[in-house]
Amino acid sequence: MHSTTSRRSFIAGSLLAAAHPLAALAADPWPSKPVRFIVPFPPGGPVDTTARVFSHRLSEIWKTPTVIDNRAGAGGVVGATAAAKEAPDGYGLFVGAIHHSVNPSLMGKLPYDIEKDFAPISFAAMFPVFIVAHPSVPANTIQELIALAKKGTPLAYGSSGNGGGTHLAGELFNMEAGTKLQHIPYKGSAPAMNDLLGGQVQLMFSDAPTALQHIKSGRVKVLGVASRQRSAMLPDVPTGVESGLPGYEAYSWAALFAPAKTPQAVLDKINADFNTAMKDPAVRQRLLDAGAEADPGTQEQMRQRLRGELDKWAKVIKTAGITPG
């Protein structure tokens, strides 16, 4: 009798213990406290602006506050290093950028591994790269620019700095078009654009947030867009692919990561809610107004695209002999 009672007590206790985590999960679902987004750049830039747009919408979906934590420095390395050390519980997320597919080849050994130390959640936004020229340049299309360059006309393009997205877009163009446009690095996109407006350089492979207002005002002319599809911002502008450069695709981007080992159930929920947020017409319009195109998807799509970006820019950096500036 005693044995039977003990056995029943043991079974009942075991069932209670097994049910306890589920009960706790039901009582304390994710998220149950504020979610922090580490942005590895200063406030006001394209990646920061994108993060603020989607985090605000997510706070409404989750009914909990979201916080932007700017950790700028070393081309995104400072923020990525901090984010990799966050607890894998979904409360400290990372907003990465194109820099994080470039830095491994450009800088060599880093304090983190963007593939091993992070779990992909979704791409967030794409910032189209427009090929823009000073009005004095006698070319109005990509093909005319290539012909002009191959005649030996001196042409220089400004960029945000050695190894930046606007530099890499220019070097990829040289590789695909067989041109030798001269690269002039600046300390940021704004000073590069200022010199383009002043005619000190003839060209720029500019991200949309920097170029759009000057294209619309007519202070620079746009020759093409470097993405595979035309941009919703300027739908009449042809792509490099349409202009005879089938391998030419360059754009800046922002994406959402979590620390490695974050529970899959949490990753799935964040991905689902993030896609809901990014498909909201108001969110998409706010991003377009800021020079970004909403670009959400699945975790596996992000994983594959990130690997493709790492491989592509490694090849460009090696071929062009690019070093950190």
Q: What is the pLDDT of residues 33-81, one digit of tens each?
A: 999 999 999 999 999 999 999 999 999 999 999 999 999 999 999 999 9
Residue pair 158/192 in contact by the 8 Å Cβ criterion: yes
What one-character-per-residue DSSP string does 140-188 give?
A: SSHHHHHHHHHTT---EEEESSTTSHHHHHHHHHHHHHT--PEEEE-SS
Residue pair 225/240 in contact by the 8 Å Cβ criterion: yes
Q: What is the pLDDT of residues 214-224, one digit of tens each?
A: 999 999 999 99
Determine the pLDDT at residue 324.
Answer: 85
Please name each of the domains of the chain with its CATH number. 35-127+251-320 (3.40.190.150), 128-225 (3.40.190.10)
- Under the banding of pLDDT at 50, 70 and 90, the label for residue 27 is very low
Residue pair 293/231 in contact by the 8 Å Cβ criterion: yes
Percent of the chain with pLDDT over 90: 90
For the residues 2-12, what does the mean pLDDT come to? 45
H-only helix segments in the chain: 2-27, 46-62, 77-84, 99-107, 142-150, 165-177, 189-198, 208-217, 264-278, 281-289, 299-320
For the residues 181-201, what does the mean pLDDT come to? 96
- Under the banding of pLDDT at 50, 70 and 90, the label for residue 15 is very low
Distances (CA, A) of 14 to 3, 7, 18, 114, 263: 16, 10, 6, 41, 24
Residue pair 87/263 in contact by the 8 Å Cβ criterion: no
pTM for the model:
0.89
Mean predicted lDDT score pLDDT of the chain: 92
Q: What is the pLDDT of residues 137-179, one digit of tens each?
A: 999 999 999 999 999 999 999 999 999 999 999 999 999 999 9
Q: What is the pLDDT of residues 81-121, one digit of tens each?
A: 999 999 999 999 999 999 999 999 999 999 999 999 999 99
Residue pair 307/314 in contact by the 8 Å Cβ criterion: no
Residue 9 has pLDDT above 60, yes or no: no
- Under the banding of pLDDT at 50, 70 and 90, the label for residue 30 is very high
